[in-house]
Structure 1
């Protein structure tokens, strides 16, 4: 799996377009459609749908975009991915297997979090905190589900199916997003909540229905087989080792949270000083938040180091689960190429994620209603994304992942410029259709190629951990910046904000070009 970036060229020589299309009927490929649906439900219940709910409840725009940080669990899932990879679940692992048991547990946690959100009215300041906690739980549970589904996908089929499995996964994911996005908006409107006429119960019923929709994922998990490669990995540690490993994870998370808690007062003073020094409130807030994040990660790492040194945790187990996957990646690619690939992974989706956090608020500010947003942005946009995803999968198989990766990044940056035109046009349905068509088509194409690219970098011996690291890095910086998108718009306005997001895509194109050349040289030298 690790040296498969150009495997699609082999397929190009062996198979016709018809043969390639028939691969979409493979059971492993079809399975990813339903698992993708399950993965797509939670994310918009944290982002855009929740954003519109909060706005209707009277929450400030800057606070609404801060809620996107509740999904930072997606960016830190590499921390608990080893736990998910190694820790067997009582009874469930024996009945369902290592992968399916964790998928099922995460799905039930997702349902619980959505139901919690449904029972919370954010118009009350005290309830807003409870809503934030529930959103964090949803982000954590959803990220856990993603970790296991990614591992399941990579272990379920050979390299030549990964691009097509990525396509069906994206199709299912986008259908799930449609249900949680457009579906939730339609339901909220149907039950009687509108901008200027907020109705908590309308959103309550909508989110309860979304929790019920997650049963599609539960049923899929119960019906699909456990991957053969997952079955082959036998349990080699004692119950005491696993409990100690769980303790290590809890200690790391606790250290991370306590660092944020106790640095609150210091950060306020630092923010005040930097605001005066920099004469820029938003930049000062970003710098302080970044410092707190780095400090929390460093302190959590120190706690882990002390616990391992004190032999409170099985050192060999920690090395195998946390250290070995990282060592393997750097050994396979070398430090220069490895850091280049990590930079590419961390920046590839920066343009569309930063813009996407505030997109629904933008549409609403232009005067588009929830039903219009649901019809054009969610429903029609879904169709274009699915088309783009299938196109990205097919083109990756025919012409190679790196070429389509470059094309997807170029189109994603260019389509952000179209949002500037939409901002200038204002309420214009034709322009909205044009922008959504281009944006979602390019996003689907880029995502299919990118997932196949990440899968190709993953060593099958460290599936869950390595892919979790890659996908966490993929969203970390974009989501941190996305949390400030509301503040950025307040500062520079929508047109300049969209221009900035487009410019963010330029370094990505350079990185893809350089990485492609270096990977080709590496593979030629090993041939």
Structure 2
């Protein structure tokens, strides 16, 4: 089915209702994120899983970096049943939201992580459906807000919701787990994810459908969700079985140092893109690859930016690298220092929420008024300070105020940096391929960081927790060397042929 804008998309570019809607969409996508990331890492640490293996679990977060592989499907095809009533974007959001609820329940029942393959299976499924919600919501946001003035408020609202949900899921899960166990903690978040609150807001507009078509759409959509979930589960199990088999054959385990091969793998995308660029630049508008439904959106990026795309993608790949390293190792560090789950949960609740929202709000205001180069520089600097604060925490005696200060600095910096980065990526997108191209940019932004972060556990054993956070802060500042080149980069237009 070709793309047809949702009903709300033909209204004003943004208003309070749209900002509220995107805050809810952000909440829906952010709620499960910590459950397969930092909260899961802390849960594994509490169950005595080796630090190297915990680092390997960071590769579950690699799945969202490959969302460009299925993003074109969400641009071109309908979610059966749901799209007919709710529209293209909201139809996919509804389907994926149900998948998220099922996955969280599965991850809850995997406690106490005696079978790590089963835990990884449910974590991968949760990552897939969370990413699908993000693809649909991001595409809709880019379509509604094509410039910085309109993109800033919607991006800020979306990140308010996203980071609020991350805080709620992170702190709530830890506090419940400390008193009643991990299974009940995950089930509580599953109930929240499946409750009517986010779904009602997403599906609020219904101007054309009859009551009969509503129930028909719900029935077909529910059946399609079940079929899609089973298909993805089978695929995930098959791929996981193959990967585990390869790892065993290669002798990869808790004592393995995989840093060097990971770095080699991380460089391959850059090499392949550099080799393909000369041919892409010579393509005319009728070239089969440019008109391809699967590859056309991505070919368009390299055609428009040419050789400058290598500089652009280098910046995109490095800008959030320090944050990802910090995200993967922050909870194991806090656990090693000796803080309780309740103390961590309190730090991740009111402290993280207040400082994160302040960072997002300031960045959302700044990107509409200041040059993007300055905003990106300030974001990287604040984020680096947040990462360095964990070096200070590591060497301080255990005290709640120390944890609160470090958490506050980290969340403020990451909130500011993340908002600026989202707006910048959104402005790189060709609106004709909103979902696919934003999925590519935002996925590529975390490909290299998450590949390297998977080896962070092994590296931490060598250089220590303080060493890994010194590296993460420094890597956050490193991509600023790209900014003078990006300031002169202008995309090629179709009329330039």
1:414 pairs with 2:385 = yes
Query: How far did 1:287 drift?
Result: 3.4
Q: What is the TM-score normalised by the length of structure 2?
A: 0.81
Which residue matches 1:508? 479
Secondary structure at 1:223's aligned position in 2?
A: coil
Structure 2, unaligned runs of 5 or more: 1-12, 208-227, 272-286
Structure 1, unaligned runs of 5 or more: 1-22, 192-201, 227-245, 273-279, 299-314
Which residue matches 1:356? 327
Please list, as runs of the form range in 1=range in 2, the aligned pairs for 1:98-113 lying within 5 A after superposition: 98-113=88-103
Which residue matches 2:371? 400
Give the conservation status (yes or no) of the 8 Å contact 2:326–2:472.
yes
C-alpha change, 1:289 and 1:418, in structure 2 (3 Å) is closer
C-alpha change, 1:37 and 1:225, in structure 2 (3 Å) is farther
Secondary structure at 2:80's aligned position in 1?
A: coil
Secondary structure at 1:149's aligned position in 2?
A: helix
Q: What is the TM-score normalised by the length of structure 1?
A: 0.76
Please list, as runs of the form range in 1=range in 2, the aligned pairs for 1:25-424 lying within 5 A after superposition: 26-124=16-114, 127-159=115-147, 160-191=149-180, 202-214=181-193, 215=195, 216-223=197-204, 260=243, 263-264=246-247, 267-268=250-251, 281-282=256-257, 285-289=258-262, 319-333=291-305, 335-424=306-395
1:476 pairs with 2:456 = no
Give the conservation status (yes or no) of the 8 Å contact 2:124–2:236.
no
Please list, as runs of the form range in 1=range in 2, the aligned pairs for 1:9-20 lying within 5 A after superposition: none
1:458 pairs with 2:429 = yes
Query: How far did 1:39 drift?
Result: 0.8
C-alpha change, 1:361 and 1:261, in structure 2 (3 Å) is closer
Distance 1:217 1:348 in 2: 31
Distance 2:385 2:33 in 1: 25
Give the conservation status (yes or no) of the 8 Å contact 1:396–1:404.
yes
Q: Please say which of residues 153-162 and 41-50 is displaced more in the overlay.
A: 153-162
Query: How far did 1:281 drift?
Result: 4.9
Distance 2:25 2:107 in 1: 23
Which residue matches 2:5? none
C-alpha change, 1:153 and 1:188, in structure 2 (3 Å) is same
Query: How far did 1:506 drift?
Result: 3.4
Distance 1:144 1:157 in 2: 20
Which residue matches 1:15? none
Secondary structure at 1:426's aligned position in 2?
A: coil
C-alpha change, 1:328 and 1:495, in structure 2 (3 Å) is same
1:443 pairs with 2:410 = no
Query: How far did 1:505 drift?
Result: 2.4
* CA-atom RMSD in angstroms: 3.3
What per-residue deviation string (whole Å, max 9, x for no partner) do you get for residues 114-152 of structure 1? 01111222342xx32211100000011111111111001
C-alpha change, 1:511 and 1:37, in structure 2 (3 Å) is same
Distance 1:33 1:211 in 2: 19
Query: How far did 1:317 drift?
Result: 9.7
Query: How far did 1:326 drift?
Result: 2.0
Distance 2:82 2:288 in 1: 26
Distance 1:132 1:262 in 2: 14
Which residue matches 2:284? none
Give the conservation status (yes or no) of the 8 Å contact 2:385–2:413.
no
What per-residue deviation string (whole Å, max 9, x for no partner) do you get for residues 257-316 of structure 1? 787466446533xx79xxxxxxx952xx23345667899999xxxxxxxxxxxxxxxx97
Secondary structure at 2:295's aligned position in 1?
A: helix
Give the conservation status (yes or no) of the 8 Å contact 1:259–1:295.
no
